[in-house]
Amino acid sequence: MNEVVTDRPVSTDTAKIIYILYLVGLAVGLTTLIGVIMAYVNRDEAPDWLKSHYRFQIRTFWMGMLYGLIGLILSFVLIGFLVLFFLVIWLILRVVKGFKHLEKREPVPNEETWMF
């Protein structure tokens, strides 16, 4: 009998690399841009549970840019340094959360949240 196998194993390597690029971006910066481009490129052909990770990563990038801009502007009145510190903690927690669910091969719950 000819059976067509449609359930190919899904590789999570790209999503893992994006999460790692986001963490490295805390020191290098440019890697977060590479990561978000990779997320945009790969989101359409991924299964639904993996698409949630790509959406989560894309939202993390854009919200991080917003928090970073606010922190940069407010750093002139010194409170911005607290905002930038919060940004670092926020980014680490989001990456850890996403990575945890990726390892379990689960979608990110509440991927639309602004927090963690």
Q: Is 36 contained in some domain? A: yes
Number of domains in the chain: 1
DSSP classification of residue 82: H
Nearest residue to 114 via CA among 96, 79, 87: 87
Does residue 4 belong to any structural domain of this protein? no
Q: Is residue 18 part of a domain?
A: yes
The Cα-based distances of 14 to 10, 11, 18, 30, 73 in angstroms read 10, 7, 6, 17, 33
Domain that holds residue 19: 13-103
39 inside domain: yes
Residue 6 domain flag: no
Between CA 112 and CA 5 the distance in angstroms is: 33
The pLDDT value recorded for residue 110 is 82
| 112 domain residue, yes or no | no
Residue ranges in the chain modelled with pLDDT below 50: 1-6
**In 10 A of CB 36, how many CB atoms?**
23
